[in-house]
Amino acid sequence: MIVVETIFKILLGLIGLSIVVFVHELGHFLAARAVGIHVEAFCLGWGKTIWHKMHKGVDYRIALFPIGGYCKMQGENEFKEAYENNAKQIEPVKGSYYGTNPWRRIIVSVAGPLFNLLFAALVFSIVFGIGFEHTVLPNRIVLATDINPAAQSPAASAGLESGDRITAINGKATPTFQDIQEAFVLYADRPFDLRVDRNGSSMQFAVTPYLNKETGSGLIGVYNWEDPVIGNVAAGSAAAEAGLKAGDTILTANGIAIPYTAALNKVFEEKPVTLNLTVQRNGETLAMSFPFSVEHIDFSWQPHRERTPHYGFFGSIGQGFQYCWWVITVSVRSFGTLFKGIDLTKAVAGPVRITYMMGDAATSIFSLGLSTGIIFLLQILAIISIALGATNLLPLPILDGGSVVLFFVEGIVRKPLNPKFIYGFQTVGAILILGIMAFALFGDIMFFVRG
């Protein structure tokens, strides 16, 4: 059953990944047609062609495996033929890839990533236009050391206490816990000034986040404080049969006081077979017990949810492009953390893990309702599209960014580049990309091995 569920999630993720790849290749396709380069084939997927249709000189195809795709332009591999024939330059042929000037080729190269970014911005605009509910966590904190005394917590070292509210970071208001996380996530080892509310008194602290080597995130060692109020109990579950109901407040679990939801981690770490609870319901204290498994928790917490405001048509577009720019900024800055000694097998996801996580997120969120699931899935697609576009703009051989560098040099020197140089440049890129893919695949395998 678990294997079938995993395969289903991967297949669902592949569909989403294919959408963003289609958008990417569509950018190359439309740009090539616009600058006069003949497109021989436009394919969605890889492997054996299972459907194709010729239309106006273009062979439109659908391949067997629903991942990736390609836009095959006339003469895009002419540099290989020129290299094999020891030619000093690629002979220009009208309508071919190398038959047009390098500036037009740059347009074609940039168009794929640009379409990914525009697609993401438009998707975010639609999401903000429709509006959606999102979980809002309060800015009240729990020190990680209160859950695990051995945990790393710069916040505890600085003097913060569980129950404090972080109201501002470097002068910027932080009304939610998400604001606190976003302030630190990309800035490990950088000092921050925190304004804290403690029982009505305002206090100042200086905290320097540490770098989490598994995720590449900057952390200060805190959880969000969430009252342990039950929001939902799975119908027919052991918890439901024991009498646990939505609205119950958990007071203790297996003899441990539960003032906030994170305190249950202490109980879960012991992997209890039975969960013994005392709960408060309408002023009455009740006791209940039921079989328990950490791998399958039958209840969830009462969410604090808010709906986004109505932005209107132009406001939604503005919000969508603004949010897209924020994600792009975060993505670019995140590349820098890859060189800070983090565990790349955990922090970097390959295509298998990305598709699985996309499918897992989609199936999980759809349990909250169809509209919520669709909105969340659109957001995931937009973020993956940004990641694909930003990655392809990196100035590495074989990527679109590498092609831009190559053609820019050709445009500056005003003469065709030697096919031998192009071949060597692309070969190095192919080896580099294959190495990265192999490493990412190893990380994906370890992800599933670790469960």
Give kind and range of the element (H or E) at residue 374.
helix 370-392
Rounded CA separation 103/105 (Å): 5
Residue 357 within any structural domain of the chain: no
Note whether 143 and 155 are within 8 A (CB). yes
Regarding whether 219 and 237 lie in a shared domain, the answer is no
Regarding whether 119 and 7 lie in a shared domain, the answer is yes
Regarding whether 397 and 427 lie in a shared domain, the answer is yes
The alpha-carbon radius of gyration of the chain (Å, integer) is 27
pLDDT the model gives residue 221: 94
Residue 282 within any structural domain of the chain: yes
Residue 255 within any structural domain of the chain: yes
pLDDT the model gives residue 279: 95
Residue 306 within any structural domain of the chain: no
Closest CA to 398 of 435, 441, 427: 427
pLDDT the model gives residue 307: 82
Given 177, 201, 224, which residue is the final one in a domain? 224
pLDDT the model gives residue 322: 93
Closest CA to 37 of 97, 92, 111: 97
Q: State whether residue 38 is helix, strand or coil.
A: coil
Residue 169 within any structural domain of the chain: yes
Q: Indicate which CATH number applies to the domain containing 255.
A: 2.30.42.10
Closest CA to 88 of 96, 76, 79, 97: 79
pLDDT the model gives residue 294: 75
From residue 166, how far is each of 192, 219, 373 by CA, in Å?
12, 14, 31
Closest CA to 137 of 184, 165, 177: 177
Q: Please give the tally of structural domains in the chain.
A: 3
Rounded CA separation 48/25 (Å): 18
Domain limits for position 66 = 2-129+382-449
Regarding whether 146 and 113 lie in a shared domain, the answer is no
From residue 161, how far is each of 141, 149, 157, 198, 222 by CA, in Å?
8, 13, 10, 8, 10
Residue 265 within any structural domain of the chain: yes
From residue 88, how far is each of 79, 85, 151, 403 by CA, in Å?
10, 9, 62, 19
Closest CA to 152 of 194, 226, 197, 207: 207
Residue 419 within any structural domain of the chain: yes
Regarding whether 257 and 202 lie in a shared domain, the answer is no
Rounded CA separation 248/205 (Å): 36
pLDDT the model gives residue 429: 74
| Residues facing 307 on adjacent strands | 133
> Each residue's pLDDT tens digit in the chain (451 positions)?
455 555 555 666 667 778 888 899 999 999 999 999 999 999 988 788 899 999 988 999 988 877 778 899 998 888 888 878 888 878 778 888 988 999 999 999 999 999 999 999 999 999 999 888 777 889 999 999 998 899 999 999 999 999 999 999 999 999 999 999 889 887 888 999 999 999 999 999 999 999 887 777 889 999 999 999 999 898 888 999 999 999 999 999 999 999 999 999 888 888 888 999 999 999 999 999 999 887 778 888 888 878 888 899 999 999 999 989 988 887 776 666 555 555 555 555 555 556 556 556 555 555 556 666 677 778 888 888 888 888 888 888 778 998 899 899 889 988 888 888 888 887 887 787 777 666 666 665 666 565 5
| Share in percent of the chain as helix, strand, coil (round to 5) | 50, 25, 30
Please provide the distance, in angstroms rounded to a whole number, between the alpha carbons at the two ends of the chain.
15
Regarding whether 89 and 59 lie in a shared domain, the answer is yes
Residue 388 within any structural domain of the chain: yes
pLDDT the model gives residue 337: 59
Rounded CA separation 97/191 (Å): 51
Regarding whether 116 and 55 lie in a shared domain, the answer is yes
pTM above 0.85, yes or no: no
